[in-house]
Amino acid sequence: MINKQRIIDRFISYITIDTQSDPESQTTPSTKKQWVLARKLAEELEEMGMTEVSIDEHAYVMATLPANVPHKVPVIGFISHFDTSPDFNASNIKPQIIEDYDGLDIILNKEKNIVLSSEYFDDLKQYKGQTIITTDGTSLLSADDKAGITEIMTAMKYLLDNPDIAHGKIRVGFTPDEEIGRGAHKFDVKKFGAAWAYTMDGSQIGELEFENFNAAKAIVRVQGKAVHPGYAKDKMVNSQYIAVDFINSLPRLESPEHTEDRQGFFHLSDIRGDVEETVLEYIIRDHDLGHFKARKEMMQDLASEICSQYENDCISVEITDQYYNMREKIEPVMHIIEIAENAMKAANIEPLLKPIRGGTDGAQLSYMGLPCPNIFAGGHNFHGKYEYVPVESMQKATEVIVKIAELTCEKYK
């Protein structure tokens, strides 16, 4: 049995280290403070008895649990990221531990009247009677993805302490900057040396994901002409009005707040400007590659149409692909999904196969030659003050890791 208190202690020791990434930085890792946890993990891996422990110049941490069986078993891996989202305060995290949760609202911060509502966040109700770790309402929790790190580290320690559990060679990897889309950019797949791996970066207990969005970022620049407003007739061109035309010409219901499951969207994530120039930042998402390409073409066509109305090149659209749907790379090796499903069932968990409405390091790694589906880490409401994680979900995720190692060994006996 995975020790509950050790899970709690390990998790809290990680989340109280601020590892927030920075999308404006050009370094890897993007913030120096990520090094603190990277070095701590490397030290802990050494102390627990893992071999081939390394931390490279970009803070990528890797280590090996050697096989304890004589027959040949494919090398498998488990991966999590140690950075936290730049979208919300990640410093001075003060976790609250709610024992024997009663299924009702949880007061996160009485002084600021911040409440984790069980009606609004109705997933909470399924964890009645369990131990919930929440924020104090002033920061995120960083269960994304320090819950995953906790589970991998705990599973490796459990396997080291229980050598009677047969397993092949296991590699673990911890990455920086996943939250800003760069977690896999400098990951050395050849050095990692696994036939396949699993990211422990999902949410609700039971999640098993091998589909994700195709993703792109679009920068829309709208050019105007600034003239003194008192003398502006037939001379001023207000870029902000043109930008509004562009925004309103995209399908309004194809946005994050109106879509679900495999439905794609355009998301206006940032807008800034004045009369002379307005810049719009979009993210484009779709599970279907054909629809994804069509979305990118729609934005370019719309810009051309508006430019023709103004008889000048008032709009430019720069689109950069970010990652692609990993399904294409997982389907030829579906046995790795079957192993994960069977591991969950052995742990009395009902597998929830669902598409990711986002991306993970695993999406990029799959296209780099390392098939890498995603498994639940247990947290909910990531990237904000309502984030929480049930300890029992972390226990179960740890158990799943151990079972995957065990079942992989049995399959190739």
Active-site residue set:
83, 178
CA torsion sign for 93, 99, 100, 105 is negative
Cα(145)–Cα(374) distance, integer angstroms = 12
CA distances to 18, 90, 114, 134 from 382, rounded to whole Å, are 16, 12, 16, 11
Q: Are strands 170-175 and 352-353 parallel, antiparallel or unpaired?
A: unpaired
Pairing status of strand 196-202 against strand 76-81: parallel
Rounded CA gap, 367 and 383, in Å? 26
Q: How many CB atoms lie within 10 A of CB 318?
A: 9
| Euclidean distance between the first and the last CA atom of the chain, given in angstroms as a whole number | 25
Degrees, nearest 5: CA angle 332-336-337: 95
Helix, strand, or coil here: 32? Answer: coil
Helix H or strand E encompassing 321: strand 315-323
Rg (CA), the chain: 23
Q: Rounded to whole angstroms, how far apart are CA atoms 252 and 266? A: 9
How many residues can be counted in the chain? 413
